Amino acid sequence: MGHGGDIIQELTTDHREVEELFGRIEALPMGDERRKEYADEAVIELVRHSVAEEQYLYPAVRDFLPDGDEIADKELEDHAGAERTMKELEGRDADDPEFDRLIGELMQEIREHIRDEEDNLFPRLRQAATGEQLDKLGDKARMAKKAAPTRPHPSAPDTPPANKILGPGVGMVDRVRDALTGRTKKY
pTM to 2 decimal places: 0.81
For the stretch 42-66, pLDDT in tens is 999 999 999 999 999 999 999 999 9
For residue 161, pLDDT beyond 80: no
d(CA 111, CA 94): 21
Mean pLDDT of 69-76: 95
- Residue 18: exposed, middle, or buried by beta-carbon count in 10 A (0-12, 13-18, 19+)? buried
Give pLDDT, residue 21. 97
Q: Where are the domains of the chain?
A: 7-181
Residue-level pLDDT at 86: 92
Q: Output the furthest CA–CA distance in the chain (Å, rounded).
A: 48
Instruction: Report pLDDT for 186.
Output: 43
Residue 147 has what pLDDT?
Answer: 77
CATH topology (fold) of 7-181: Four Helix Bundle (Hemerythrin (Met), subunit A) (1.20.120)
Q: How far is CA 115 from CA 19, 119, 186, in A?
A: 11, 6, 29
